Amino acid sequence: MNGDTPLRLRPGTPSRLPSPPSAPAALDAVAIDVTEPFAYAFTKRAFDLVAGSAILLLLLPVIPMVAIMIRLDSQGPVFYRQERVGKNGRPFKFYKFRSMRADSDRLRAELETSNELTGPVFKMKNDPRVTSVGQFLRRSSLDEIPQIFNVLRGDMSIVGPRPALPGEVAKYEVWHRRRLEVKPGITCLWQVAGRNHVGFDEWMRLDIEYMSRRSVRTDLGIFLKTIPAVIARRGAY
């Protein structure tokens, strides 16, 4: 970048984004064209509907089994609903299989000092709120299955930045908010790079990296890399 001229990256072009520690300051000045060409937007939505429906049908026998496991393991609902922030800051209801105690949101405030990640997100490897069945669901990523319904509804995409909590977004720096300019997804570069083993700023940088490289080929590549990442359980807890 020379002078005050912003670097404009269009979907499908090679990334020239700087790496940390210069990333936060530099990314404030980077202009990324988030306009989706019709062909890409149409193909991406078609892929979401076809792949989402196929995954849902494939996992249909698993859903009642998981539901029974959750009900037998702990008190509370089978599904966990939470408000998340979608594209352009639009809130939506986010679904997961419940993997924590029913009062987990209330208990989080008591555990803030044990947060193992930097930034506004909260992660603990041995979170005491996670149930026995919940540990299995998280490590196998089965707790994410209900998000397919978010994809079919159009709240999310198969591939895209993970949706954040409103409280997390409120603490974002300016450059972190760039990730809200595209639809959130179930899997992303952060997911295949190691999830919770990746620091917060690097996570944000990977999301903006994805925004600059968006294409059918990029989405398909991330989707295919997610399969071995889930099997290996990298950074899942």
pLDDT (tens digit per residue) in 32-62: 667 788 999 999 999 999 999 999 999 999 9
Would you place residue 13 in the very low, low, confident or very high pLDDT band (cuts 50, 70, 90)? very low
E-assigned strands of the chain?
Answer: 8-9, 31-32, 79-85, 91-97, 157-159, 185-187
Examine the pLDDT at 3 and tell me if it is beyond 50. Answer: no
pLDDT score, position 86: 97
**Which of 7-11, 32-36, 44-48, 154-158 has the weakest average pLDDT?**
7-11
pLDDT score, position 2: 41
Would you place residue 26 in the very low, low, confident or very high pLDDT band (cuts 50, 70, 90)? low
pLDDT score, position 106: 87
Nearest CA to 50 out of 216, 230, 214, 161 is that of: 216
Mean pLDDT of 75-82: 96
Distances (CA, A) of 1 to 4, 24, 167, 176, 177: 8, 14, 33, 20, 21
| Phi-psi region at 204: left, alpha or beta (left = phi > 0; alpha = psi -120 to 50) | alpha
pLDDT score, position 183: 97
Nearest CA to 202 out of 20, 26, 30 is that of: 20
Q: Which residues of 70-88 are buried (b: 16+ CB within 10 A; e: fewer)?
A: beebbebeeebeeebbbbe
Q: Which residue has the tokens 């995954």?
A: 55
Nearest CA to 236 out of 207, 195, 193 is that of: 195
pLDDT in tens, 167-210: 999 999 999 999 999 999 999 999 888 776 788 999 999 999 99
* Type of residue numbered 185: G
